[in-house]
Structures are given as structure tokens and as C-alpha cells.
């Protein structure tokens, strides 16, 4: 029997990172055709080769999500290869930890360019192909820090809050045009982005202490939510936010 994404073409940004890699690998097991993208061509090529070795039809593309030209090239390459696009998963992101006064203008601009502008550019550029699908899904990766304050990471929090509302307005705009748009909000997840903190503090890491389940999540647990939103099981779901945080934002 075909998998849950059989016949669908999915483009994933940040595909070689923790959540991106787990999502691509899960989508591959569910029979999706994959466009895997990241900022490093070599790393992206290596990952696509691994997917192909497992029988997945995968295309590797170097993508700078902050660049309109890079997005245009990526979407055109995907169109030429597969002729369609059914799923866009915006995962690529960067973080800087300083608060309001310590954040520099350069640091602010870098985080906004990748996390916020990159998400908008992805939707803007991919939307004609997604609309042509007639049954498409966009999944934007926000964060629990797009829902609640932390007293730090000012630029990161600002962008993740923006992604949450950008998702909702896109969902309304395209609700009758064949494209669903939802956001996923991971909590503390064992990804390279926060691995140094986890290595230093382990279960004493403050956000883990505040998490009712008393542990960090795995990228695979976030990928499972991505799969639900990519597939037809979520056909009446749009404009919603899905929190994967072990209960962190429940209190």
C-alpha cells in the first residue's frame, strides 16, 4: 500500500538540520517525492544521496531562504523535476540569544531575514505551484517562543511571533484556493540549535524543569506533527497552531 504521502511532492527548508532531517526521513518513508534544501550544497547533496539510496525520489537544492532569487531558482528546479508541488515545510531558522539591549542591529537583521522574511518568501514564491496542486499544505515552523515570552532571544521571539500571525493571514487568504497553512510550535527539542545548552545543563536546563513531561522532545516527535499536517488527514485544518512542547506552555 502507498504511504500517507504517496504521490505528493514536498519541499523542505533546513532539511539537513535536526527537525528538517527527521521530517524528510519520515516523509520519505511515507512515499513522498522530496525537494530537500539547505544553505550548504555539499551537506544537502549528501543527505539527498542517502534518501535516494533508500529508494526515495529526492532533489537536492542549495537555498538561501532570505534571497528572492534563490527561492525563484529553487522553485523552478522543483517544477522542472516534478512538475508540481503539494507540500511546503518552512523549517530553516537561526537563533540569537541576547535580549533587547544586547541585540545588535546586524544580529536582528540576520534573524529576521532567515526566520521571518524567509518564511514569507517561501510562501510567496511557491504559492503558484501550490495553488495548482488544488490540495496543498504549507507548514511554517514557529516555536513556543512565538507564543510566550522568555526574557531573552528578542529577535528570535519577534520572528517566531510574526511567523504565527503570517501563517494565520495566509490561511485565510488561501482557504478557498486549495492551500492550507498551519504553524508548528516546538518546545525544547534535541536539535543542534540548542544542543550545547542541553549538554551543559542536561535535565537541569530551566525550560526542561518547567516542562511537565520533564524531558526534551526529539526531532522525530515534531516530524510526526509535520506528517499529519502534510497529509490528507488534516484536510479541514488551516490557520491553526500546533504545539509540540511536552506541556511547557500549558501553565
Which residues does the annotation mark as catalytic? Answer: 156
Bridge partners (DSSP) of residue 242 are 184
| 153 φ/ψ angles, rounded to the nearest 5 degrees | 50, 50
Taking the C-alpha atoms of residue 67 and residue 231, their distance in angstroms, rounded to an integer, is: 28
Q: Which regions of the chain does DSSP assign to beta strands (E)? A: 9-12, 33-38, 58-62, 87-90, 136-141, 179-186, 241-244
Closest CA to 115 of 150, 72, 145, 135: 145
Spatial CB neighbours of 89, under 8 Å, sequence gap ≥ 6: 10, 11, 12, 13, 20, 23, 138, 139, 141, 226, 230
Q: Is 96 helix (H, G, I), strand (E, B) or coil?
A: coil
Query: Taking the CA atoms of the chain, what radius of gyration do you get in angstroms?
Result: 17
Q: Nearest 5 degrees, angle CA 245-CA 248-CA 250?
A: 110
Task: Specify whether the CB–CB gap between 134 and 189 falls below 8 A.
Answer: no
Q: How long is the chain?
A: 251
Q: Is 235 helix (H, G, I), strand (E, B) or coil?
A: coil
Amino acid at each position: 500500500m502507498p504511504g500517507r504521502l504517496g504521490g505528493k511532492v514536498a519541499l523542505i527548508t533546513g532539511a539537513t538540520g535536526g527537525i528538517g532531517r527527521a521530517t524528510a526521513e519520515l516523509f520519505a518513508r511515507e512515499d513522498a517525492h522530496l525537494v530537500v534544501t539547505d544553505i550548504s550544497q555539499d551537506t544537502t547533496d549528501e543527505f539527498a544521496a542517502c534518501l535516494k539510496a533508500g529508494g526515495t525520489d529526492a532533489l537536492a537544492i542549495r537555498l538561501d531562504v532570505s534571497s528572492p532569487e534563490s527561492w525563484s531558482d529553487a522553485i523552478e528546479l522543483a517544477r522542472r523535476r516534478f512538475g508540481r508541488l503539494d507540500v511546503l515545510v518552512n523549517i530553516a531558522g537561526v537563533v540569537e540569544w541576547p535580549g533587547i539591549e544586547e541585540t545588535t542591529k546586524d544580529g536582528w537583521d540576520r534573524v529576521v531575514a532567515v526566520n521571518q522574511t524567509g518564511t514569507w518568501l517561501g510562501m510567496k514564491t511557491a504559492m503558484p505551484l501550490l495553488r495548482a496542486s488544488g490540495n496543498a499544505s504549507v507548514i511554517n515552523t514557529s516555536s513556543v517562543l512565538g507564543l510566550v515570552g522568555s526574557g531573552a532571544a528578542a529577535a528570535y521571539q519577534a520572528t517566531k511571533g510574526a511567523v504565527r500571525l503570517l501563517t494565520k493571514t495566509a490561511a485565510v487568504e488561501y482557504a478557498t484556493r486549495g492551500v492550507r497553512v498551519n504553524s508548528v510550535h516546538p518546545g525544547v527539542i534535541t536539535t543542534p540549535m540548542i544542543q550545547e545548552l542541553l549538554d551543559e545543563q542536561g535535565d537541569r536546563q530551566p525550560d526542561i524543569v518547567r516542562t511537565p513531561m520533564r524531558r526534551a522532545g526529539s526531532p522525530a516527535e515534531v516530524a510526526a506533527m509535520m506528517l499529519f499536517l502534510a497529509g490528507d488527514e488534516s484536510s479541514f485544518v488551516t490557520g491553526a497552531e500546533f504545539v509540540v512542547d511536552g506541556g511547557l506552555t500549558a501553565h
